[in-house]
């Protein structure tokens, strides 16, 4: 990737001065920032991919609006929808201050970045050039020109990419390899309203998954994706949900159709976690749930 950096001699890292922009991340001030970890690095190039209807446009329009509210100058360049179609979508999302245009020319977009802090290109495959090039050459020219300009101007750029119905990136993998951040938006398998933001590459921050709910008025409730329970965790949860007042080893074996040793290990684990308390020994032993009254921080047996 051409970043227009000057070649240097080998230098101890302790003697290098880190650019101030690395510590001045662009943030929305909302839960949406969780998708980017520490925030958006000025000049970073990001791809956002999803299947049709996955929420790419909605997310990025809302992101630009929230950045604008924090004093950043933002724009949305579309080669997919007319500005009037975008305005109609923006009205539903309560997005009012993002500058929009039907612009696809690589060089004109690069020029516009001189006066912007963040720009969305919707979509990368729609980019054009007056220069005569084949598809592969135009793709390389576009990503090189725009990512280089991003670094020169500290204007963060977001490329919308498309996925097939099978979830495979349309086109080559050149762009994802050359940019700094890759984000994939996926539908939650159990709830069609939920979207999972998988930041699987981030040169300047953390990677991970964040969940958010997509409604008519946009995204809400950004938070870390809950990891599915392991079989052991599901078993412990089931034991704790057994009818009080007492729990026995035989009852656990019969209820969950498990061996005596597995029942013993599960009960012992819950005792160690202070969720159960054991009374008695041998076959007469019983376990009671330990509930914690938070205001009084007192243990109650049930």
Residue 1 has pLDDT above 50, yes or no: no
In a domain, 2, yes or no: no
103 and 195 housed in the same domain: yes
The answer to whether residues 153 and 296 belong to one domain is no
Is the confidence at residue 292, as pLDDT, over 70?
no
Residues 134 and 178 in one domain: yes
pLDDT at 176 over 60: yes
Query: If you compute the radius of gyration of the chain from its CA atoms, what whole number of angstroms results?
Result: 26
What's the CATH code of the domain at 80?
A: 3.40.50.300
Quick one: 32 and 160 in the same domain? yes
Number of domains the chain is built from: 2
Q: Does residue 1 belong to any structural domain of this protein?
A: no
What is the extent of the structural domain holding 294?
A: 231-301
Enter the tokens of residue 121: 């290109």
Mean pLDDT computed over 11-15: 93
- What pLDDT is stored for residue 19 in this prediction? 86
> Of 193, 224, 255, which marks where a domain is finished?
224
Q: Are strands 156-162 and 181-187 parallel, antiparallel or unpaired?
A: unpaired
pLDDT at position 244 is: 67
Q: Residue 3 falls within a domain, yes or no?
A: no
Confidence tier at 7 by pLDDT (50, 70, 90): confident
Percent of the chain beyond pLDDT 90?
74
pLDDT, average across residues 221-227? 83
Distances, alpha carbon 268 to alpha carbons 137, 228, 262, 275, 287, in Å? 64, 22, 10, 10, 10
- Give the residue from 168, 197, 224 where a domain finishes: 224
Do 273 and 180 lie in a common domain? no
DSSP result, 164-178: -TTSPBSS-SHHHHH
CATH code for position 242: 1.10.10.10
Q: What is the pLDDT of residue 3?
A: 46
Q: Compare 7 and 143 and report the one with higher pLDDT.
A: 143
Res 127: pLDDT: 97
pLDDT value for 2: 45
The verdict on 187 and 291 lying in the same domain is: no
Is position 180 within any domain?
yes
263 is a domain residue: yes
Same domain, 253 and 197: no
CA dihedral over 117, 118, 119, 124, signed as positive or negative: positive
User: Region 85-114: what's the mean pLDDT?
Assistant: 98
| Residue 205 sits in the same domain as residue 254 | no
The SS3 assignment for 274 reads coil
Q: Could you say which of 224, 244, 270 is where a domain stops? A: 224
Q: Do 153 and 251 lie in a common domain?
A: no
Q: For the chain, how many residues are written?
A: 302
Question: What percentage of the chain carries pLDDT values higher than 70?
Answer: 93
pLDDT band with cut points at 50, 70 and 90 for residue 296: very low
**Lowest model confidence (mean pLDDT) among 87-91, 163-167, 228-232, 249-253:** 163-167
Residue 37 pLDDT class (50, 70, 90 cuts): confident
Burial 45-57 (b: 16+ CB within 10 A, else e): bbbbbbbeebbbb
Residues 172 and 63 in one domain: yes
Within-domain flag for 204: yes
Region 243-257: mean pLDDT is: 87
Same domain, 152 and 239: no
Q: pLDDT tens digits for 102-142?
A: 999 999 999 999 999 999 999 999 999 999 999 999 999 99
Is 218 contained in some domain?
yes
Strand pairing category for 208-215 and 194-202: antiparallel
Assess whether 86 and 150 both reside in one domain.
yes
Residue 238, domain member (yes or no): yes
């Amino acid at each position: 990737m051409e970043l227009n950096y000057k070649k240097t001699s080998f230098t101890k890292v302790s003697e290098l001065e880190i650019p101030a922009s690395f510590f001045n991340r662009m943030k929305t001030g909302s839960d949406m920032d969780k998708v980017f970890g520490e925030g958006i690095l000025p000049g970073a190039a990001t791809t956002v991919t999803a299947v049709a209807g996955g929420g790419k446009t909605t997310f990025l329009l809302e992101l630009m609006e929230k950045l604008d509210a924090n004093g950043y100058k933002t724009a949305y360049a579309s080669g997919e929808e007319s500005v009037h179609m975008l305005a109609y979508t923006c009205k539903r999302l309560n997005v009012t201050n993002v500058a929009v245009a039907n612009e696809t020319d690589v060089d004109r977009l690069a020029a516009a970045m001189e006066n912007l802090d963040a720009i969305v290109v919707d979509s990368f495959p729609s980019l054009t050039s007056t220069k005569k090039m084949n598809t592969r050459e135009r793709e390389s020219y576009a990503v090189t020109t725009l990512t280089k300009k991003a670094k020169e101007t500290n204007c963060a750029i977001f490329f919308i990419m498309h996925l097939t119905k099978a979830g495979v990136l349309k086109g080559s993998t050149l762009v994802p390899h050359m940019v700094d951040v890759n984000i994939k938006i996926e539908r939650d398998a159990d709830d069609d309203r939920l979207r999972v933001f998988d930041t699987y590459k981030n040169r300047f921050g953390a990677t991970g998954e964040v969940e958010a709910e997509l409604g008519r008025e946009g995204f809400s409730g950004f938070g870390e994706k809950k990891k599915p329970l392991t079989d052991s965790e599901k078993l412990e949860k089931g034991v704790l949900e057994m009818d009080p007042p007492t729990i026995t080893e035989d009852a656990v074996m019969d209820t969950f159709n498990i061996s005596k040793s597995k029942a013993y290990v599960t009960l012992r684990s819950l005792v160690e976690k202070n969720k159960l308390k054991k009374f008695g020994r041998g076959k007469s032993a019983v376990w009671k749930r330990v509930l914690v009254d938070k205001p009084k921080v007192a243990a109650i047996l049930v």
